[in-house]
Structure 1
């Protein structure tokens, strides 16, 4: 899966084909005609409310794909940026990385497209986190 250039319509179409969902069920659920569904398959981006309906119909969180993109390709935080927290607030960063992101990174290393150090520096993934992923593979 290409997390850099997301074409959500083709991803939805792939999931529909994988699950073998009949077009009649899709049109009834989305309250639209077949032509509209076919147009959605060709769209690179889709309105969030429609995407949410697709998520429910296909029982798949397409928004995670965008979250994975943000994790991998968002600009680095500014140096010296201070984040203030309330004393009573706890912040948990566990499970920040989706399985799609983990698979993407592991695939880059396994196919020798990137080294572990390149992944760590480019995507700012902690060294211990990366090596835990690789160990589980």
Structure 2
């Protein structure tokens, strides 16, 4: 399970490369680096978006989604920001529906089932509505 609070993107990429048994030469050729440079890149906690994009393409995995999950869990939009007009900014607007992915739900339910957090702590810390949490528990039958 991914720890969305402490993202070490280099080790996540390395884990996927190893899991898919992709040759280092292929990775280096695609990323345009040497073996030594690749080792340094994969040891870094943070990478530039250009590198993350290249690895996402090569490994056919959206590494940016990991950061989106972090935002959903640890930096949810405030009520104030939803009332501010974005007329001056011409960035794409994304749907707010279906914020919680299966990974997020599994992460939250694992916190509760392992005893790391109580239901009350999850509701307060992650701002997840009580009814939503109880629906997840009911739907996924994790024996709570």
TM-score by length of 2: 0.80
For 1:94, which of 97, 103, 106 is the aligned residue?
Answer: 97
Structure 2 partner of 1:24: 25
RMSD over aligned Cα, in angstroms?
A: 2.4
Matched, 1:9 2:10: yes
Larger RCO (alpha carbons 8 Å, 6+ apart): 1
Q: Is 2:73 the partner of 1:72?
A: yes
| CA-CA distance at 1:100 after TM superposition | 2.4
Specify the SS of the correspondent of 2:83: coil
Distance 1:85 1:49 in 2: 27
The residue number in structure 1 matching 2:129 is: 126
2:42 equivalent in structure 1: 41
User: Gaps (5+ residues) in structure 2?
Assistant: 88-93
1:55-99 C-alpha deviation (Å, 9 max, x unpaired): 11111111111111111212772669735699xxxx843221233
- Please report how far the alpha carbon of residue 102 of structure 1 lies from its aligned counterpart in structure 2 after TM superposition: 1.7
Task: Check whether the contact 1:64–1:98 (CA below 8 A) recurs between aligned residues.
Answer: no
CA distance in 2, matches of 1:128, 1:93: 18
CA distance in 2, matches of 1:80, 1:49: 28
Count of residue pairs brought into register by the alignment: 133
Instruction: Evaluate the alpha carbon distance shift between residue 93 and residue 128 of structure 1 in structure 2; reply closer, same or farther with a 3 A threshold.
Output: farther
| 2:117 equivalent among 93, 114, 118 | 114
